[in-house]
Chain A
Amino acid sequence: MSEREHRWTMVIDLDRCTGCQACVVACSVENNIPVVGEDEVRMGRAMHWIRIERYWEGEYPNVRARFIPVICQQCERAPCEPVCPVFATYHSEVEHVNIQVYNRCIGTRYCANNCPYIARVFNWFDPQFPEPLNEQLNPDVTVRRRGIMEKCTFCIQRIRRAEEMAEAERRPLGDGDVQPACVQSCPAEALVFGDVADPNSRVAKLVRSRRAFRLLEELGTEPNVIYLKGGEAHVG
């Protein structure tokens, strides 16, 4: 496998996101996300790795709603990492992705408490996939058990698959070869994924947009998820 450094980055264009939820379902399918049911959702324990936050602005009749997809921001300086007593969450220097090692996790939930983006979800119970619903499971992704913390991985299994494929075909990884499930599905093409270490990639160009910002930039977490501001006149 190539050890060339990648800086995987997702760009989320808020001017395009319609709030349609396709990414939410796509992610659930790809990453074997458990369905927790009505009561658990009520307690705030839904386990989606991507959620579309909806903000009301103003009052009737001058009211608007804005949608913001939120995932793990894959921070360069991640507040969740140093608090894990068993190094279950750590930073990958090769991919610049924040990694969660399930079989190290002992469920202290310190990381979730320390994540300012509330990107982490916890398995309070063992997931249920009544037969034959288990057949839907993605064989590339571990099913997590009770007591394990989890969160968006940038679909690391897809990054690996694309790398292996490129290697087998003896070609460099191309821009757009890696598509996390949410990006692949997004009908409004609001999500773009790629390697900012490659100056010609689409993301490398988009992060230079004057609409670009990061969530809670002032915390100094240096997210690898870049948002493009929406809802105002701009061009391109």
Chain B
Amino acid sequence: MASKVTRRQFLKISGAGLLLLSGCTANLQRPVWMEPYVRAPEETLPGEDFWFASTCRMCPAGCGILVRVSNGRARKIEGNPAHPLNQGRLCARGQAGLQLLYHPDRLRHVLKRTGERGQGRWGRTTWEQIVEELAQQIQGMAPERIAFLTGLLPDYQATLVARFLKGLGAPPAVVYDTQAAFDGRVVLEAASQALFDVPVLPIFDIARADVVYAFGSNFLETWLSPVVYNRAYGRMRSQPGVRGMLIAFAPRLSMTAANADRWVPVPPGTEGLVALALGKIIVDEGWDKSNAELRGFYEGVDVGAVAQATGVPAEELVQFARRFAEAHHPVAMPGDLLAGSTNGLEATQAVEALNLVLGHLGEHGAIFLTPSPPSRDLRKVPVSPFQAVRELVDRMAAGEVDALFVLGANPVYELPAALGFTDALKNVQLVVTFASMMDETAALSDIVLPAHTYLETWGYEFVSPSTDRLIVSAQQPVVRPLYDTRDPGDVLLALADKLGGKVARRLPWPNLVHFIQTRLTSLQLLEGNIAAQDAKTFWAYWLQHGGWWSKEQAWQVPEPSQNLSAKRLLVPSPEFDGEASQYPLHLLPVPSVTFGDGRHAGLPWLQETPDPMTTATWDTWVELNPATAERLGVKHDEIVKVTSPFGEIEAVVYVFPGIHPDVVAVPVGQGHSAMGRWAEGRGANVLRILAPRTVPSTGQLAWAATRVRVTKTGRRRVLPRLESNIGVDRARERGVVPG
């Protein structure tokens, strides 16, 4: 692997490492730096850069980063070239992390409500006082009446929360955020369980595949591990002697589908049917020689009916099936959109089954499975399905929850309004939110505990899904905390200490660093990038390299489940909320390459970054097929109302040539009533009007199963976009683009 960090930079990757390696830096020839008489703060040398290795937390993927720090300030985040996950690369969100740290509207002190909830009147208090007070309150509560709702936390935090709750005797945390729902993590895990007997996330080796079929997938945008899949996509296109091809089946021309050689538009929720038909053709034509026992999969599948339901002609289905079967290294990957449909689990299985019937499992260019962590201490806390949130909200509404702690999630913003979270909150005595900015949930809390950003704290992450390696990524502070903030993990440790008893025994560590070091002890003995005799040395190297990773390939080869021969794949018709007569269109919320599930809308760099497909910035738009727009009598830049049975939003029309005529797409991310000056009061939040529909088989939120109607308002607002503004169209007139 080509390392782009020079030797000199490399030696400075970590403060701890610097000390350790100072002996071997002495013989390097390099400019001499003059030191002023005034002593600079520790770790800073005026004019000299330091590069600290750490882990990106702008999404749950866990890419390795190097942060350039000069004069004690973080100036640039880059990918860590040595990190096997992202190999030096980052996505748009990862690049923008500095603005979380230096956002002018960050929370700077512990806040306690003085007025009514939501009035925005706060008093300050100290950490000592608040820990004391929280400990007292917790002691006075029945443990089963204490609840935690967390997002997809970094492992160190998730583990501390889990141990804290166990110590208290409280129910485990509900681990849910919209990013996880968009990823479809619980659906993917359930599909792996059904097909391969292990509930883990799949990994698709598309870099070495010659034919990739992506079903309802946005794998180049926000799905699971965007940098990994972008890199793999790039490599797939230029393999030695082969240009891999990509075909996308989906209702909308997403950025991912736009990169495909062929986009096949299908109605929402029918991607799984396409996969079934392809499988049926493959077995009927006998391409599946080695796997005849799986033929039962496709019993009763009617290719003609699929053609009818999807609008893809039967002859084309046959061609698609043959192209896939003939390929040397084909791979079929299910995507986020499947998980958003009511038939998500069945559809995901139907897609993955294509790899099974052709016997392409765990080989060059095929599907692999995420391995277990290298030690028990590094086990991950499982993600909860949406159903668990629903149950929590029910308990809150029924007055069965005395204290709710929210961490790494923003339920007031991200949950469908119809779930009634905000109302249920009223019946909870004590609401405590950990946050680095005043988000919608913090604003409705009693106590707000200001959190470090990921650039100010310690942590570790067992990266999942990973590449072919086991990776335990390191996180360390790259600058001193700017304000009187703390890591939520440290707050829990302090609370446990105060509470004493069983909780204290579960969380016996004086601080985060001690805790993390105990998690890593088992790694020291394993073969990886670090050879260290003792724990101290291991820790120093771990920070310096940005983590530990295995020497050997570690991804798991999927073993087909024993009971597959009796299995028949059935993909039920998708269901939608809302009467078709009243709500004729399907609503597709689109996670954003910049805001993710909305949590990064506060960052100005990301607000001003154009959406790849529409080139729009700073606002929310509604994508309509040209025919649909014409039928509704609306044009670009007109404001329309999008009404579901559960609410309505207003946004600006973008006439979008790449969308099924029955579908409207609205990007996720804007419509904040809090979260700082750049997020507040712009655009609309589409998540609020979704049906809070749970899929029984997995408990997943069917986030792509709401019907809407779109109506004119007669008002207009020009969408701030690049296209036809910064000369893009002018450029076309001038023929900047060939052809």
Contacts and interface: CB of A to CB of B under 8 A. Distances in A.
B253 interface: yes
A20 B226 contact: yes
B658 interface: yes
B608 A36 contact: yes
A235 interface: yes
Contacts, number: 255
Contacts of A213: 738
Interface string B73-100: 1111111000000101111111110110
Given A16-B237, A46-B726, A61 B265 contact: yes
B610 A21 contact: yes
A65 interface: yes
A122 to B, nearest CB: 11
Interface string B201-241: 00000000000000000001100001100110111011011
B243 A63 contact: no
Given A18-B230, A179-B4, A185 B612 contact: no
Interface string B573-591: 0000000000000000000
B96 A54 contact: no
Contacts of B737: 53, 55, 66, 68, 215
Given A44-B727, A68-B737, A133 B104 contact: yes
A235 B731 CA distance: 30
Contacts of B609: 21, 24-25, 28
B7 interface: yes
A147 interface: no
A107 interface: no
Contacts of B618: 37-38, 41
A234 interface: yes
A207 B102 CA distance: 41
B234 A189 contact: yes
Interface in B37-79: 70-71, 73-79
A22 interface: yes
Interface stretch (A79-87, A89-97, A98-106, A169-177): A169-177
Contacts of A139: 70-71, 75
Contacts of A64: 253, 258, 263
Contacts of A131: 104
Given A22-B91, A67-B612, A236-B240, A118 B730 contact: yes
B638 to A, nearest CB: 15
Contacts of B116: none
B183 interface: no
A19 B255 contact: yes
A190 interface: yes
Interface string B706-739: 0000000000001111110111101110111110
Contact of B734 (A20, A24, A216): A216
| Main SS at interface, chain A | loop
Contact of B728 (A29, A53, A135, A235): A53
Interface string B1-21: 010101110000000000000
A233 interface: yes
A44 B90 CA distance: 27
Contact of B605 (A29, A58, A234): A29
B241 A26 contact: no
B414 interface: no
Contact of B86 (A116, A187, A231): A187
A64 B263 CA distance: 8
B617 interface: yes
Nearest to A16: B234
A213 B735 CA distance: 14
Nearest to B731: A118
A38 B226 contact: no
B76 A22 contact: no
B682 interface: yes
Contact of B658 (A63, A189, A216): A63
B731 A35 contact: no
B29 A168 contact: yes
Nearest to B8: A165
B519 to A, nearest CB: 29
A71 interface: no
Contact of B617 (A16, A46, A133): A46
B626 A188 contact: no
A7 B255 CA distance: 34
A150 interface: no
Given A133-B102, A136-B102, A186-B89, A30 B76 contact: yes
Given A131-B104, A168-B29, A235-B242, A189 B255 contact: no
A52 B612 contact: yes
Nearest to A228: B238
Interface string A212-232: 010110000000000000110
Given A22-B90, A133-B104, A136-B99, A65 B626 contact: no
Contacts of B96: 25, 29
Given A54-B613, A65-B658, A130 B104 contact: yes
Contacts of A46: 608, 610, 617, 722, 725-726
Contacts of A184: 4, 78-79, 88
A72 to B, nearest CB: 13
B85 to A, nearest CB: 11
B227 to A, nearest CB: 4
Contacts of A165: 6, 8, 30
B284 interface: no
A188 B28 contact: no
Given A21-B593, A54-B615, A187-B226, A42 B658 contact: no
B302 interface: no
Nearest to A53: B728
Given A22-B89, A46-B726, A168 B30 contact: yes
The 8 A-B residue pairs with the shortest CB-CB distance, nearest first, are: A187-B230, A188-B234, A118-B727, A44-B725, A168-B30, A41-B720, A25-B95, A38-B618
28 contacts: A18-B230, A18-B234, A19-B255, A19-B259, A21-B593, A21-B612, A22-B89, A22-B92, A22-B94, A29-B76, A30-B76, A41-B721, A42-B720, A53-B722, A55-B737, A58-B657, A64-B263, A132-B104, A133-B103, A165-B6, A168-B29, A169-B30, A179-B4, A187-B230, A189-B235, A215-B736, A230-B237, A235-B241
Interface of A: 13, 15-16, 18-22, 24-26, 28-30, 35-39, 41-44, 46, 48, 51-56, 58-61, 63-68, 70, 116-118, 130-139, 162, 164-165, 168-170, 176-177, 179, 181, 184-190, 213, 215-216, 230-231, 233-236
Interface of B: 2, 4, 6-8, 28-31, 70-71, 73-79, 86, 88-96, 98-99, 101-104, 220-221, 226-227, 230-231, 233-235, 237-238, 240-243, 253, 255-256, 258-259, 261, 263, 265, 482, 593-594, 604-610, 612-615, 617-619, 625-627, 657-659, 661, 682, 718-723, 725-728, 730-732, 734-738
